[in-house]
Amino acid sequence: MEKDNPTLGILCAIGAAAVFSVVNLLAKTLMATYPVTEVVFFRVLFALIPTYWLLRRRGPGHLYTPRPWSHALRAIAGLASLCSAFLAFHLMPLAESSALVQSAPLFVTMLSVPLLGERVGLHRKAAVAIGFLGVLLIVQPGPGIQGGGFHLWGSAAALFSAFTYALAIIYMRQLTRRESAAAVAFWYTLFSTGIMAATLPFGWVTPGAVDLLLLVLIGLMGGISQFLMSRSYALAPAVVIAPLTYTGVAFAALFGYTIWGDLPNALAWSGIGVVAVSTVYIAWREHVRAREAAALANEAGADPPAR
């Protein structure tokens, strides 16, 4: 087991958020020319290189899995999230779409009750409710809000991405109870590549040399960002890393303003802040719950409290 190194973990988390933001920027740019299925294909195909390199360091034995169908379901959920996220980046400003996609922890908390049998107490229920109020501030569905701009399909795609990513996280939690995180990442990338390859005959646009390079970069950088994020959680507690994932929204806002002149209005910024605080609070309550459960583990018959 690696020693904790919070400083390096924080740097890895911020680096992952920055690289993710560049991937999203490239995807938004390329989707003006190429279908989402083709962009996602390159994203998962070339992510295999850093993912396989990470797995190879751990030895070939980590490749074995007795649950291929569970990996396939995790891949389908992850691909649905990735495709809809890229579609959202294409249809609406980067900052707002990134914030909505990162509302996934709200859905994870909701789905953990029926799918994982977890107990969710008042604290996390309240955080979820407040978080969805923040989502409404970002989406701004009402007409007549100056500077608002209701992006119906973009918002729907972003929220669908958050929901399906929550499903992917739950599948991943179940798989990592018995398999390494590196193996789960490898099988996800491999299954995803095969699935997306099957879609190419229905929407292929032959890229030029420059665009091909950018499409390859999307995949390589996507794999690197996943590696950096997994390293960050290995080096520092989740309660430290969770707030840093929202630095990606700041990078997205910077890119969106610099390139397209997009900048969230005051209501949207308020909503982004509410979603960020709610999801970080959920992460903190899960940290507290895990610590209390560990403390109670030595007491016979004691159930961990719901928080």
Distance of alpha carbon 12 from alpha carbon 171, whole angstroms? 24
Distance of alpha carbon 182 from alpha carbon 149, whole angstroms? 41
Write down the mean pLDDT value for the chain: 84
DSSP class of 208: -
Instruction: Work out whether the CA dihedral 92, 277, 166, 251 comes out positive or negative.
Output: positive
Residue 306 has pLDDT above 80, yes or no: no
Question: Average pLDDT, stretch 152-162?
Answer: 91
pTM assigned to the model: 0.86
Distance of alpha carbon 306 from alpha carbon 117, whole angstroms? 12
pLDDT tens digits along 69-121: 888 998 999 999 999 999 999 999 999 999 999 898 889 888 887 877 777 78
